[in-house]
Amino acid sequence: MADPVSLAASCAMPPVLSKSAVTGGEVKRSAHMKMDSYNVGAVAPYQAMPVAGPVITHHKSTALPVVEPHPEMTEEEREARVAEMIGSYMKKLAERTHHHMGYPYNLDFDYGLLEGLTKFSINNLGDPFIESNYGVHSREFEVGVLNWFARLWEIDEEEYWGYITTCGTEGNLHGILVGRENFPDGVMYASSESHYSVFKAARMYRMESEKIPTLETGEINYDDLKAALAKNAGKPAILNVNIGTTVKGAVDDLDRVLEVLKETGYTEDRFYIHCDGALFGMMMPFLSRDAPMVTFRKPIGSVSVSGHKFVGAPVPCGVIITRFKYVMALSSDVEYLNSRDATIMGSRNGHAPVYLWYTLTRKGYEGMRRDVEKCMRNAHVLKQMFESAGIRTMLNELSNTVVFERPKEEAFVRKWQLACEGDIAHVVVMPNITVEKLEEFVADYVQSRARVSIAAAKRVACEAKAAEEEL
**CATH number of the domain that residue 448 is part of:** 3.90.1150.10
Do 162 and 266 reside in the same domain of the chain? yes
Do 156 and 273 reside in the same domain of the chain? yes
What angle, 0 to 180 degrees and rounded to 10, lies between the N-to-C axes of helices 351-388 and 435-470? 50
Tell me the pLDDT tens digit for each residue of 327-365: 988 887 776 767 778 899 888 999 999 999 999 999 999
Q: 83-111 burial, b for 16+ CB within 10 Å, e for fewer?
A: eeeeeeeeeeeeeeeeebbbbbbbbebee
Residue of 242, 188, 239 lying closest to 214 (CA atoms): 242
DSSP bridge pairs for 305: 319
Residue 62 lies in a domain: no
**Domain end position, chosen among 363, 386, 419:** 363
Q: Are 214 and 193 a contacting pair, CB within 8 Å? A: yes
Q: How far apart are CA 17 and CA 38, in angstroms?
A: 10
Tell me the pLDDT tens digit for each residue of 157-194: 999 999 999 999 999 999 999 999 999 999 999 999 99
**Domain end position, chosen among 363, 396, 412:** 363
Residue 101 lies in a domain: no
Do 431 and 374 reside in the same domain of the chain? yes
So which residues are the catalytic ones? 399
Do 339 and 387 reside in the same domain of the chain? no
Q: How far apart are CA 213 and CA 441, in angstroms?
A: 33
Residue 4 lies in a domain: no
With vertex at residue 67, the alpha carbon angle to CA 64 and CA 70, rounded to the nearest 5 degrees, is 150
Q: Which domain holds residue 395?
A: 365-470
| Of 293 and 288, more confident | 293
Of 216-220, 290-294, 373-377, 404-408, minimum mean pLDDT range: 290-294
Do 372 and 334 reside in the same domain of the chain? no
Ramachandran quadrant class, 5 (left: phi over 0; alpha: psi -120 to 50; beta: rest): alpha
Do 374 and 340 reside in the same domain of the chain? no
Domains identified in the chain, total number? 2
Residue 426 lies in a domain: yes
Tell me the pLDDT tens digit for each residue of 105-157: 888 888 999 999 999 999 999 899 998 889 999 999 999 999 999 999 999 99
Residue 428 lies in a domain: yes
Do 218 and 343 reside in the same domain of the chain? yes
The model carries a pTM of 0.83
* Residues 390-409, mean pLDDT to the nearest whole number: 93
The torsion of the CA quartet 283, 379, 47, 236, rounded to 10 degrees, works out to 20
Residue of 410, 421, 35 lying closest to 196 (CA atoms): 421
Do 339 and 450 reside in the same domain of the chain? no
Residue 50 lies in a domain: no
**Residue 276 DSSP SS3:** strand
- Residue 14 pLDDT exceeds 80: no
Do 355 and 383 reside in the same domain of the chain? no
Question: How many of the other CB atoms lie within 10 Å of CB of 307?
Answer: 29
Confidence of residue 22 (pLDDT cuts 50, 70, 90): very low
**Residue 292 DSSP SS3:** coil
Do 262 and 408 reside in the same domain of the chain? no
Do 147 and 277 reside in the same domain of the chain? yes
Q: What percent of the residues of the chain are helix, what percent strand, and what percent coil, each to the nearest 5?
A: 45, 15, 40
**Domain end position, chosen among 329, 345, 363:** 363
Tell me the pLDDT tens digit for each residue of 41-89: 332 322 334 444 456 667 788 888 898 888 888 999 999 999 999 999 9
